[in-house]
Structure 1
Amino acid sequence: MCVKDGDVSSVMCSFNRVNGIPTCADAYLLKKLVRNDWNLHGYVVADCDSVHEIVTNHKWLNDTVEEASAQVLKAGMDLDCGRSYLKLVDAVKQGLVKEADMDKSLNYLYVVLMRLGWFDGIPSLVSLGKKDMCTEENVELAAEAAREGIVLLQNDNETLPLDPTKFKSFALIGPHANATNVMKGNYAGFPCKFITPVEGFSAFGEVTYELGCLDAICPNDTTIQSAVNITQNADVTFLFVGLSTGIEAEWRDRKDLLLPANQTLLVNKAAEASKGPVILIIMAATGIDISFAKNNPKIKSILWVGYPGEQGGRAIAEVVFGKYNPGGRLPITWYENNYVDKFPMTSMALRPVGDYPGRTYKFFNGSTVYPFGYGLSYTSFKYEYKSTDMSLDIKLNRLQHCQDLPYNDTNYMQNCSSVSIDDLTCNDEITFEITVQNVGSRDGSDAVLVYSVPPEGIVGTPFKQVVGFERVYLQADESVNVKFVLNVCQSLNIVDVSGYRLLPSGLHKIVVGDNAISIPVKISYSQ
């Protein structure tokens, strides 16, 4: 539980409704649950314009702005991102809220400011100025963030990394071939200086570029042929395609999971005409069904770069030409396009039901374009573990009670199926070490992903869930021992259909990587 275990200083209510009540006006959520039950030591802040939404969109109780401002304050919201709070003076005059209610919120806000040292004066921060902006350290940090976020999705015949002494002329094509602002993504500050893909790749050879699509929306194909033409004389063709904040962003939803409009046509035509190998580079925040590209023999390698920021062009080029070995992993599942037709987008269900295949890597039972956690490298890693069975018998006192669980196979049923996490002390830990060896010829990094798999036979459990990870940097042929310490309650719990966290008994598994290592962990209860 992030709020309790992390002892957070603030929680945000949003402009949505839960059980029909706007979250920022829900005293049960904000006061009882968040502040009292979860023991919030800080303040509740509204997502921007959430109070305004109560009046204009929700039309909650036909509120005026004054009434809504009073209601959220009394419900437990302390800080308003917006302008509705300006009506609090009128709300006090109308008797809708008391100054004492505002004082309580101010206390929460000032306590956090004091914990931050806001009133103490911090010379090291006060002295910050223009000289501290856009420093070499800042720029290198931006480049490193971009490099580490790049995911290698396909690399047929080890096409990448390219040797710039053998490949000297490059065709850069696509709406993001000379990207600037699109690399920022949502909610970004002003960059020090953009390094576009054209600039980044120019450091390694001769670049010719044509957009082919004037932007990511790509509504027509009138400029595609001019882009296709330049592929015929280039040693390598790079296709920079994807999405933009004009397609995916707050207040914007995609209608499908495909490349927008004519981008697919651009990719296919350019790949067909290309003299040399074709590298597909996808700039987007979310998954795209690029099955057509995976199956195109002319497209040798595929990179997903997210929205890589101001140093994006440099970072991508350094990965392509082997200055940096990619080690990123996909943080989401990439679904096939027909996934969106299998259930209404208003459905929030995670578990599969009937023809609905479920959602997220935890529950989705269908085929994918790429699974969660997927990512290749220019080298290879090997995991080793000295097999040891683990078991834990938890002694229950007279106040700790067993909770029944539904089973789809009674052969797996336990005498004491589970116990609520809230009833356990939760001090037990699992400790193990994994030896990771770089068995390839290049230095590189590996993200060691650790999953827990619940006991078999229980209805509605996830296939697996991430419980830990560690990124390690290894030279060729180097090995390192990676130690993991997992809290049993946090790592092996499941959430039942009512939202309660339970620790089931039975045979759990700790799985490292793509089932490379499986460690059995037996949990039992006794009085």
Structure 2
Amino acid sequence: MFNLGHGGLTYWSPNINVARDLRWGRVMETPGEDPFVGGTYAVNYVRGLQDVEGEEFTQDLNSRPLKVSACCKHITAYDIDHWNGVDRHTFDARVTEQDMTETFQRPFEMCVKEGDVSSVMCSFNRVNGIPTCSDPNLLKETVRGEWGLHGYIVSDCYSIDTIVNDMKWLGDTPVEAISQSMHAGLDLECGWYYSSYGVETSKKGMISEREIDKALSNLYVVLMRLGYFDGSPSYMSLGKPDICAQQHIELAAEAAREGIVLLKNDNNSLPLNTNTHKNIADILIHYICTQIVFVCIGIPCKYTSPKDGLSAFGNVTYEKGCADVVCKSDSFIFSAMEVAKKADATVVVVGLDLSIEAEFVDRLDLLLPGYQTQLVNQVASVAKGPIILVLMCSGSIDVFFAKNNPNIGAILWAGYPGEEGGRVPLLTLFLENTILVGGKIPTTWYPADYVNALPMSSMQLRPNDELGYPGRTYKLYNGTTVFPFGYGLSYTNFSYEITSPGGSIDIKLQNNQHCRDVTYEEDSYRLLCSAVLVDDVSCDAAGYEFEVVVRVQNNGTIDGNNVVMVYSKPPVGILRTHQRQLIGFERIFLKAGETQNVKFLFNACKSLIIVENNAYRLLPAGEHMMVVGDGEASVPVQVNFEGQ
């Protein structure tokens, strides 16, 4: 409701930066560490905001009507705000071209090409020495040229001032900085430099009228597509009653439900039964767990707190475990223990808040703050009934202590669940709501000592044994985890079987198509033609597609949700590439005993590629493995190349 009555039709959202390091304070705004998930999220988010029904795929995309204008941000390699004296306004992200192509750029490329977003925002930082908002190769050549943006490019707020006064890049004056950025393809500045120094820059001949006209055209075309000048009659009557309609409140609840992840459930501690668990102790750090709605999101229709969530299911005794999230004192722990001694079940809600992880605030560790860990352990040591630990945080927390504690029966991760976040996560604890649990974590949960292995300012993604770097993200990390990417339990049991046969993709190379070398391990078998450049083959041809059908069965006695995740593994022996990569996922609901076939259609040029160290996208020959989840089922797909 933030724009209600203000006529605002531009939403600078979503944030699709890859969560490279979970100390970053803005992980909460992103869809996680996987670039394919980030891109898929971006496409659907943007389509939901922008698309007018019946006008989704008009022939001239520059005239396609828009409901509102979305903005994919912040391009590129931006994932540090303020850590150990390193500041986003002066940080120079040193990134290899391989990592840029494979990871950092992919969500943005998908957002522009498949989501047809109408705006892209450049970030504060430099990448390999060049400020992103002054980089013509990034903005003009890649975003607008190669990817084909139909819209405008905007700076993050006050980025040009940052270039002049913080970076002091090239010693530029305000006039010179404007000239650099507009030449690079920056249409709009969030700040005051364009308005304060733009006329002077033009008079000095440092930007031409043609360039100004081009930027204005990019901006005004979006305004026209929004109906800014002649209106959009079907949307003119919308107001607060539409925003806060019951179906939209329920949508907020659905988002919170689907984001909940069950991380532990020993001895079927969950779900609780209201007939046997009548007296519940609720020990809270987060009395108001919905404060996240105040950050970059707007004004909610209403709030619910954890208190509201449990009251409907039994006699609830509330106790504050700490004075606040920082939890600098253990003075509340004794009273929390006394409550837990008498309860049929104890729910302990702990985690982080915006004073610990947020924009401008990065973390120094992966631990619960202050005495929170002691609170959990001491309450668990005396509790009469099962202990249910609910984590409210964005970046991961090392909860090995709780995972390995036999007195703690279950762990739920709720993230920051928004305006319905107090009610929904706690509803999932009870038998009447078991279908609600089925989410998967979108990041790798590292142990606490991970932060000692590599500084947050190191952009390196691949492991380096000589330096003791274990790598980053599930695709490349080679260390131990608290919980791996894509992990999540259910109150029921699912089994998986791939019913489609292993496929073969046979590609006959033309005279202008050449084999490319791939870096193999020393003793690995090398094919005569190791790979081809993706740009050299006809990826849209039917021969490049293959199907994977996964039969999923609910083997339990209760209904349940499940997210089916399919990964591809490259041929054995290829060096310095991903261990596996997610290529498809789908959420399904199955009643107890029910079976469903889930069909995935993949294209080899998107789902089987690797990115070599020279940043070329290659389709390697050999046996690729399609794997469901953590290896519950798999099937090979063979890629063969044949010369003329």
The separation in 1 between residues aligned to 2:568 and 2:155, in whole angstroms, is 35
Q: What is the match of residue 70 of structure 2?
A: none
Give the CA deviation at 1:95. Answer: 4.1
Matches within 5 A, 1:270-419: 270-322=379-431, 323-325=433-435, 326-354=437-465, 355-386=468-499, 388-419=501-532
The structure-2 alpha-carbon separation of the partners of 1:422 and 1:309, relative to structure 1 and needing over 3 Å to count, comes to: same
- Corresponding position: 1:433 with 2:433: no
Query: Offset of 1:490 from its aligned partner?
Result: 0.1
What CA deviation, in whole Å up to 9, does each residue of 1:159-218 have, x standing for no partner? 111011211222211311x22443537422211111100111011112222222222222
d(CA) in 2 for partners of 1:190 and 1:69?
A: 35
- Secondary structure of 2:224 counterpart: helix
Matched-pair contact (CA < 8 Å) for 2:290–2:305? no
Q: Mean Cα displacement is larger for which, 404-413 or 220-229?
A: 220-229
Aligned residue for 1:149? 259
Alignment match, 1:136: 246
Q: Is the 8 A contact 1:169 1:234 kept in 2?
A: yes
- Taking the aligned partners of 1:114 and 1:384, their CA distance within structure 2 comes to 51
Q: Which residue of 1 aligns with 2:356?
A: 247
Structure 1 residues 76-100: Cα deviation after superposition (integer angstroms, max 9, x where no partner): 0112223333222343345433343
Residue 12 (1) aligns with residue 121 (2): yes
Structure 1 unmatched ranges of 5 or more = none
Paired residue type of 1:467: I
Residue 622 of structure 2 is aligned to residue 511 of structure 1:
no
Q: 1:218–1:56: structure 2 CA closer, same or farther, 3 Å change rule?
A: farther
Letter in 1 for 2:454: F
Are the equivalent residues in 2 in contact too, given 1:210–1:226 (CA < 8 A)?
yes
Structure 2 runs not aligned, ≥5 long? 1-108
Q: Within 5 Å, which residues of 2 pair with 1:230-269? A: 230-269=339-378
2:299 to 187, 190, 199: 190
Q: Within 2, Cα distance between the matches of 1:522 and 1:151?
A: 35
Secondary structure class of the residue paired with 1:179: coil
- The one-letter amino acid of 2:561's match is S
User: Does structure 1 retain, via aligned residues, the 8 Å contact 2:118–2:222?
Assistant: yes
Matched, 1:203 2:312: yes
Deviation at 1:6, TM superposition (A): 4.5
Alpha-carbon distance change, 504 to 349 in structure 1, aligned in 2, over 3 angstroms? same
**Following the alignment from structure 1 to structure 2, what is the Cα–Cα distance between the partners of residues 181 and 389?**
47
In the alignment, the residues of structure 1 paired with residue 550 and residue 604 of structure 2 have an alpha-carbon distance, to the nearest angstrom, of 18
Partner of 1:127 in structure 2? 237
**What is aligned with 1:74?**
183
The letter of the residue matching 1:156 is D
Q: Which piece of structure 1 moves more, 319-328 or 220-229?
A: 220-229
Most deviating of 317-326 and 284-293:
317-326
In the aligned structure 1, how far is the partner of 2:419 from the partner of 2:254? 11
**Alignment identity in percent?**
53
Cα displacement (A) at 1:151: 0.2
Contact 1:185 1:244 in 2 (8 A): no
* 1:362-395 Cα deviation digits (max 9, x unpaired): 0111110000000001111121223622111111
When structure 1 is superposed on structure 2, of 421-430 and 285-294 the one drifting more is 421-430
The aligned length equals: 526
The DSSP-based 3-state class of the residue aligned with 1:239 is strand
The question of whether the paired residues in 2 share the 8 Å contact of 1:409 and 1:458 is answered with no
Comparing 145-154 with 375-384, greater Cα deviation is found at 375-384
Q: 1:56 to 1:217 in 2, by over 3 A?
A: farther
SS at match of 2:619: strand
What is the DSSP-based 3-state SS (H/G/I as helix, E as strand, rest coil) of the residue aligned with 1:394? strand
Q: 1:513 to 1:138 in 2, by over 3 A?
A: same
Counterparts of residues 3-152 of structure 1 (less than 5 Å): 3-87=112-196, 88-152=198-262
The equivalences for 1:451-466 within 5 A come to: 451-466=567-582
User: Contact (CA 8 Å) 1:183, 1:312: kept in 2 or not?
Assistant: no
Which TM-score applies when normalising by structure 2?
A: 0.79
The alpha-carbon deviation at position 113 of structure 1 amounts to 3.3
**Equivalent residue letter for 2:237:** S
Greater shift in the superposed pair: 220-229 or 396-405: 220-229
Contact 2:498/2:634 (CA < 8 Å) preserved in 1? no
The amino acid across from 1:303 in the alignment is L
Tell me how far 1:314 sits from its aligned partner. 1.2
Q: Greater CA deviation, 104-113 or 326-335?
A: 104-113
Aligned counterpart, 2:558: 442
Give the letter aligned to residue 334 of structure 1: W
SS of corresponding position for 1:57: helix
Distance 1:63 1:213, change over 3 A: farther
Give the secondary structure class of the aligned counterpart of 2:322: coil
> Matched residue of 1:114: which SS?
helix
TM-score normalised according to structure 1 size? 0.96
1:253 positional shift = 1.3
Confirm or deny: 8 A CA contact 2:252 2:420 kept in the other structure. yes
After TM superposition, give the deviation of residue 228 of structure 1 in Å. Answer: 2.7
Q: Are 1:185 and 1:309, in contact at CA under 8 Å, matched by a contact in 2?
A: no
Deviation at 1:133, TM superposition (A): 2.8
Change (3 A) 1:242 1:351: same
| Cα 1:444–1:260 shift into 2, 3 Å | same
Indicate conservation of the 8 Å contact 1:430/1:486, yes or no: yes
Amino acid at match of 2:552: V
Q: More displaced, 379-388 or 328-337?
A: 379-388
1:485 maps to which of 601, 607, 611: 601
Q: Which amino acid aligns with 2:460?
A: A
Aligned with 1:313: secondary structure? coil
> Corresponding residue for 2:47?
none
Deviations 1:108-134 (A, max 9, x none): 122333344444522221101122132
Q: What code does the residue aligned with 1:521 have?
A: V
Quote the Cα distance in structure 2 between the aligned partners of 1:7 and 1:237.
Answer: 48
Q: Which residue pairs with 2:268 in the alignment?
A: 158
User: Residue type of the partner of 1:493?
Assistant: I
**2:468 corresponds to 1:468:** no
Structure 1 distance, partners of 2:300, 2:114, is 35
SS at 1:303 equivalent: strand
- Following superposition, the deviation at residue 489 of structure 1 comes to 0.4
